[in-house]
Chain A
């Protein structure tokens, strides 16, 4: 059953450094929430807080009626949270089928070939060889396999950490469709991205983090116009285009 992820004034501290400060956000079923911000703003830390890797110093995280913060990571995963990783963490030495079976670990029973095929299709990899070792796949396929693995868990919440990193515009456009389709099935998606084309096309709402705090919220269009957001990005490589995406962009791809 689809559930809403709620972060209420979440704070995370590493030693003396405040990584997240009173961050609140909501991800509802079927909604894709973009999470953007300069490097070091705390985006990955936020995902780590949700998955239980980073302990909370303050605030709460709930999924529907279940309190997540304080639970060990594997229980949070079993509650319906799945993620991909910034640096791809597939089980590289294991084959595609086993990686998908891993994603479905918390589901009762095994993973049938049919289900595996369906998962791969949903992730945009319809023809992938189930027996191929995951580490031998091309980079773009690995990213999508990670998504397929996350989908295998039948999550309520799917968190994607820079899934378009290293992708060219054509691949990114396909990724947008994939994400849209997944959202269409009722999954709530939290998307960390630097690529603003992807964010604009895929996200319903956007939250901007800077120095561990929420700087702005709104639709992608509103964010792009927000002066505080623009100022936060000035001086970094990531400049939000103020034009429509059809023109040449002055943006750097990270």
Chain B
């Protein structure tokens, strides 16, 4: 076997995880760029994961149809969530969205169609690394395209100073709604791919600990940087492999890195590629 084939065979699961984690990180990054600490993306991903799994298993939908359905569902849920939380900011938005995530987890835990606490197993394992990275590339391309539009400016202004943004004509309500819905779509894609890549789902897969993890990736990469989100997800997904020998210290390393970034390098990894002129050093 060639080196690459061998490498792939050994690490395909890790590569899959990195791809999906990158998508999850991007889904949160979209909200963070708009200045919203909306911690609902794990819930969106969970909903999509279960929808696509059930569609495949019980209704025998083909893969892409079930993924599309799942993404449509998670986006719809995100759009619906945007309405009651439209006036919440900062900590209150964060808590409300965490509450939403918990409600989703409990529902999934107690409903028979999702397999309850035991989850679903035997999901058709028909998503490979190529499909995951195609999805990631698609999303990256779409986000890159958006970054060149006035919407991107609207997002940045909403994040920096919402009232002043309104004062220059930005419909900040629409920005908040769109960023949450977009996050719902991207998280949905991640969830659907997850279900078919790892063919086993439990309610715990997309609970608050997972949401915290996604937040850590984004913070380490650079809160307002989508590239940072991906970099943070990749870095922290790979790290346990590198320090595999110190297995017990994986968790504490995560915590220490997070703390170190917050205290000493608030822009995270993004400081590596941010051009000097762009910003006065700024906290999230």
A and B touch in the complex (CB under 8 A): yes
| Interface residue ranges, A against B (CB under 8 Å) | 51, 53, 72-75, 77-78, 82-83, 85, 89-95, 98, 101-103, 105-106, 131-133, 135-136, 149, 153
Give the interface centre of B163, B278, B280 by most chain A CB atoms within 10 Å. B280
Instruction: Determine the distance from Cα of A149 to Cα of B150 in the docked complex, in whole angstroms.
Output: 16
Q: Known: A105-B150, A105-B154. Is A93-B160 also a contact (CB below 8 A)?
A: yes
Q: Which residues of B contact A101 (CB under 8 A)?
A: 153
- B76–chain A nearest beta-carbon distance, Å: 25
Number of A-B contacts (CB under 8 A): 75
Write the chain A residue with the least CB distance to B165: A102
Nearest Cβ on chain B to A158's Cβ, whole angstroms: 12
Majority secondary structure of chain B interface residues (helix, strand, loop or mixed): helix
User: Given A77, A89, A98, A149, which contacts B153 in the complex, CB threshold below 8 Å?
Assistant: A98
User: Do the beta carbons of B167 and A91 come within 8 Å of each other?
Assistant: no
Distance between Cα atoms of A122 and B164 in the complex (Å): 21
**Which residues of B from 192 to 229 have beta carbons under 8 Å from A?**
none
**Would A94 and B156 be within 8 Å (CB), given that A102-B165, A135-B280 are in contact?**
yes
In the complex formed, the residue of A with least CB distance to B164 is A89
Contacting residues, chain B, for A72 (C-beta < 8 A): 166, 171, 173
| Beta-carbon contact of B160 and A105 below 8 Å | no
A94, A103, A133: the one within 8 Å of B168 (CB):
A103
- Is there a chain A Cβ closer than 8 Å to B132's Cβ? no
User: Which among A91, A92, A106 has the greatest number of chain B C-beta atoms within 10 A?
Assistant: A91
Partner of A153, one of B161, B165, B168, B172: B168
CA distance A73 to B162 in the complex (A): 11
Given the complex, which residues of A lie within 8 Å of B280, measured CB to CB? 92-93, 133, 135-136
A74-B172, A95-B278, A133-B279 as given contacts; A105 in contact with B166, CB under 8 Å: no
**Contacts known (A91-B157, A133-B279); A153 close to B163, Cβ less than 8 A:** no
Q: Are B164 and A153 in contact (CB under 8 A)?
A: no
CB distance from B60 to the nearest CB of A (A): 48
Are A83 and B167 in contact, with the CB atoms below 8 A?
yes
CA A153 to CA B278, docked complex, whole Å: 23
Instruction: Closest B residue to A73 by CB, please name it.
Output: B166
| Contacting residue for A93 out of B153, B166, B170, B279, CB 8 A | B279
CB-defined contacts of A73 to chain B, threshold 8 Å: 163, 166-167
Q: How far is the CA of A136 from the CA of B282 in the complex (A)?
A: 12
Q: Which of A77, A95, A132 is B166 in contact with, Cβ under 8 Å?
A: A77
Known: A93-B282, A131-B277. A149 touches B168 (CB 8 A): yes
Cβ-neighbour of A105 out of B170, B277, B278, B279 (below 8 A): B170
